[in-house]
Amino acid sequence: MTQMRQKCVVFVGTSISVRETLDQITTRRGVPMRALGSVRDGCELVVQKKNALLVVELDGNAGQELQWLAQLTHQRPQSCVLAIVDRGDIPTTVQAMRAGADNCLERPVDPELLNSALGQLLHQIDIQSDDSVTPLTRMETTVLEHIVQGRTNRQIAASLHRSPRTVEVHRRHIMCKLGVCTVVDLIKAASARGFLGESNGVSQSPEADGDNANGPAAVSIHGIPNQQTRTRDCPAAPSEVLDCGRQVQ
C-alpha cells in the first residue's frame, strides 16, 4: 500500500477573511496551513516541501509576485498554485494563469468555491505523490510525448500511422491511469511521475500498444467572465533561481 507524504497549504496574502476561511477549510480537511509574508518565501517553501499547495493573493501591482510564480512553475511544473484576485481584474487573472496558476478566484472569495478549488488541487497533489499509478505502455508514452508537443489527435495519428480513433483511445487510457481530466493536469502529473524524459524527442515507430493522448488545453477560471488558455512561458522570471531558500546568481 502506497504511503502519501503529508500535504500542506501555503498562504501568501493580507486578507484576514481569506486567511480565516482557508484555516477553517484546511482544518476540516486535516491539512496544515502556513501563512508567509511574501510570494518569494511561499515559492521557496513549495520547492522544499513538494507536496505543498500555494494560495496567493494578487492585485494589479503584482509584477514581482508574478515573476516569482513564473520562476516556480518553470522550475517545478507540477507545482499547484491557486491565485486570488480582485473582482473583475481580468489583466491580473490572465497574467496569473500565464505565470502558472492552476485556477483563479475573485475577492470576496466564496467559501464553497474555495473549498472546491482546494479539493481539486490537493487531489492532484495526491496523484502526483502516488507511486501505485499503473505504468504507461511504450505506445502510451509515445502518444503522451506528442501531446506535450501540442499536437492534435489527427496529427498524432498521421505521425504514428494509426487511426485518430486509436489515438483517442490511448489518450483516454492515459488520462484514466494518471487520474486527470485536463491536458494541463495530464502534463503536470506525467512530469511528476517521471513519464516525460529530459528530451522532447518523439519516437516515430513505437512497438507496443497501450492507452491515451490529447490536444490544446484551457483552464477554467471560477468567477471570472471569460476563460484563458494556460501557458508556462510568461512573464520573465527574476534572475535568482529558487533553490530551497537560497539565491543562486
Predicted TM-score of the model (pTM): 0.59
Q: Is 38 helix (H, G, I), strand (E, B) or coil?
A: coil
Report the pLDDT value the prediction gives residue 129, as an integer from 0 to 100: 64
- Residue ranges in the chain assigned as alpha helix (H): 16-29, 39-49, 63-75, 90-99, 111-129, 138-148, 153-160, 164-178, 183-193
DSSP 108-144: SPPHHHHHHHHHHHHHHHHHHH-TTPPPPPHHHHHHH
Distance between CA 171 and CA 153 in Å, rounded?
9
- Domain architecture of the chain: domains with CATH: 8-129 (3.40.50.2300)
Per-residue pLDDT of the chain (249 residues; tens, 9 = 90+): 444 568 899 999 999 999 999 999 999 999 999 999 999 999 999 888 878 999 999 988 888 999 999 998 888 877 889 999 999 999 999 999 988 898 999 999 999 999 999 998 988 787 666 555 567 788 888 999 899 888 999 999 999 998 998 999 889 888 887 777 788 878 777 776 666 654 343 333 343 344 433 333 333 333 333 333 333 433 444 444 444 333 333
Place of cell 504507461: 136
Q: Record the cell numbers describing residue 130, joined without a space.
A: 502516488
Distance between CA 56 and CA 80 in Å, rounded?
11
Query: Residue 6: CB partners within 8 Å, gap ≥ 6?
Result: 32, 51
